[in-house]
């Protein structure tokens, strides 16, 4: 009997059309994902992982294959045109305005992506850019290639950082003036973690809408560039976040380096004091920092928190008990609240 992976692998080798859309094959060695019928040379069994949805392949950091074009398979002409706008301008944002200029309807395109891939066109674009940039950072190609690539002046992904890194030889850029970035997986999906030599400055789910803005802000606030790598703070974060998800960790002992205004710092400090498994409201948080009128400002500063989970903004809910806004998505917020609840309950039972 073949197991699921073997069945899919066989279909991949045989270019079995009936599996198109059933799985997406991520090739670990190239970070590209394909559909069953791809004409490209087939990867070794151990180098493939299979995804049941298009989004999960993107979430895992894979980019659509340029040969089989998994995005365009069975897509209407309009969609193919929109996708080619992205692949021809991989470093720029394609706006609704630009879609209209190309006689494309942003509404139709958004709906088609939602229906067929479970994400919006803009979310797809963002993942495409970020995955591209991250893979380039990872391969180290960026330092040389991008200096010749004027497209990297645009404020997209991590791209705009490359030119300045170029001016320094890699040997002179030390841990002091760079932000390191890495990616790891959690039960709620993959996350990016960034850290300087002083501490962690970002921890976010890879599909967070504000991600590129956060990268830009971090780089400008810290006057540092993002490059791929790992330091002690990043290693510690991976360990402690894994323990958090297992339910064995309730408090973090991770150094943070979170630039922001004085007000934001106050709000974030206040967030860190909310105990594990407890919920509070923006109103109570505003009272706690002696700014009872500043409820909206507190909510906004919460929204600017770039260190998910460790600075537990998921523990803040609306005054009426509703789960309002969460950068990582409301489903994740709900999951985190329930997770902490479950752990607290099982603790009381075992005591
Ligand atoms: Zn392919």
Count the Cβ atoms, other than its own, within 10 Å of residue 211: 21
Q: What is the pLDDT of residue 316?
A: 94
Closest CA to 196 of 219, 171, 170: 219
Q: What is the pLDDT of residue 176?
A: 57
As annotated, the residues of the chain forming the CATH 3.40.10.10 domain(s) are 4-126
As annotated, the residues of the chain forming the CATH 1.10.10.10 domain(s) are 174-351
User: How far is the centre of ligand 1, averaged over its atoms, from the C-alpha of 77 (Å)?
Assistant: 20
Give the single-character DSSP code of 141: T
Distance CA 83, CA 145 (A): 24
User: How far is the centre of ligand 1, averaged over its atoms, from the C-alpha of 228 (Å)?
Assistant: 26
Instruction: Give the tens place of pLDDT for each residue, 228-265.
Output: 899 999 999 999 999 999 999 999 999 999 999 999 99
User: How far is the centre of ligand 1, averaged over its atoms, from the C-alpha of 336 (Å)?
Assistant: 36
- Residues classed as catalytic: 313
Closest CA to 309 of 216, 186, 197, 133: 186
* Residues in the chain with pLDDT values less than 70: 141-176, 351
User: How far is the centre of ligand 1, averaged over its atoms, from the C-alpha of 68 (Å)?
Assistant: 4
User: How far is the centre of ligand 1, averaged over its atoms, from the C-alpha of 69 (Å)?
Assistant: 6
Q: Which residues are CB-contacts of 318 (< 8 A; sequence separation ≥ 6)? A: 281, 282, 324
Q: Which residues are CB-contacts of 314 (< 8 A; sequence separation ≥ 6)? A: 308, 326, 328, 332, 333, 336, 337
By three-state DSSP, how is residue 334 classified? helix
**For residues 180 and 194, is the Cβ–Cβ distance under 8 A?**
yes
Long-range contacts of 214-219 (CB under 8 A, 24+ apart): 214/306, 215/157, 215/158, 216/155, 216/160, 217/306, 218/179, 218/194, 218/259, 218/306, 219/161, 219/179
User: How far is the centre of ligand 1, averaged over its atoms, from the C-alpha of 119 (Å)?
Assistant: 21
User: How far is the centre of ligand 1, averaged over its atoms, from the C-alpha of 38 (Å)?
Assistant: 4
The beta strands (E) that lie in the chain are given as 24-27, 32-34, 48-51, 63-64, 178-184, 191-195, 200-205, 225-228, 280-281, 316-317
CATH superfamily, region 4-126: DNA Methylphosphotriester Repair Domain (3.40.10.10)
Biggest distance spanned by C-alpha atoms of the chain: 67
Q: Which residue has the tokens 């609306």?
A: 318
Instruction: Give the tens place of pLDDT for each residue, 331-344.
Output: 899 999 999 999 99
| Topology annotation, domain 174-351 | Arc Repressor Mutant, subunit A (1.10.10)
User: How far is the centre of ligand 1, averaged over its atoms, from the C-alpha of 297 (Å)?
Assistant: 48
Q: What is the pLDDT of residue 169?
A: 42
**For residues 281 and 318, is the Cβ–Cβ distance under 8 A?**
yes
Distance CA 118, CA 265 (A): 36
Distance CA 72, CA 110 (A): 15
């Amino acid at each position: 009997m073949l197991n699921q992976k073997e069945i899919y692998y066989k279909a991949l080798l045989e270019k079995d059309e009936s599996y198109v859309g059933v799985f997406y094959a991520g090739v670990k060695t190239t970070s590209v994902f394909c559909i069953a019928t791809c004409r490209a040379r087939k990867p070794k069994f151990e180098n493939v992982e299979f995804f049941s949805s298009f989004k999960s392949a993107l979430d895992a950091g894979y980019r659509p294959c340029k040969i089989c074009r998994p995005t365009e398979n069975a897509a209407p002409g309009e969609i193919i045109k929109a996708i080619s706008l992205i692949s021809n301008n991989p470093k720029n944002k394609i706006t609704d305005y630009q879609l209209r200029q190309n006689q494309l309807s942003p509404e139709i395109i958004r709906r088609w992506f939602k229906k067929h891939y479970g994400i919006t066109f803009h979310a797809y674009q963002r993942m495409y850019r970020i995955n591209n940039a991250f893979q380039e950072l990872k391969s180290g190609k960026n330092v040389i290639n991008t200096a010749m690539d004027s497209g990297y002046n645009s404020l997209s992904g991590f791209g705009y950082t490359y030119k300045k890194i170029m001016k320094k030889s890699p040997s002179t850029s030390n841990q002091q003036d760079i932000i390191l970035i890495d990616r790891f997986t959690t039960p709620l999906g993959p996350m990016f973690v960034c850290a300087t030599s002083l501490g962690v400055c970002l921890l976010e789910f890879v599909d967070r809408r504000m991600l590129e803005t956060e990268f830009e802000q971090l780089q400008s606030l810290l006057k540092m560039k993002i490059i791929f790598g790992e330091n002690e703070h990043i290693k510690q974060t991976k360990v402690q976040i894994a323990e958090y998800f297992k339910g064995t960790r309730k408090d973090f002992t991770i150094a943070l380096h979170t630039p922001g205004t004085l007000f934001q710092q106050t709000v974030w400090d206040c967030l860190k004091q909310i105990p594990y498994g407890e919920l509070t409201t923006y109103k109570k948080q505003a009272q706690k920092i002696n700014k009872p009128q500043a409820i909206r400002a507190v909510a906004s500063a919460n929204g600017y928190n770039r260190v998910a989970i460790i600075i537990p903004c998921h523990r803040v809910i609306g005054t009426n008990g509703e789960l309002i806004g969460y950068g990582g998505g409301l489903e994740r917020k709900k999951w985190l609240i329930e997770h902490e609840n479950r752990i607290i309950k099982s603790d009381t039972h075992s005591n």
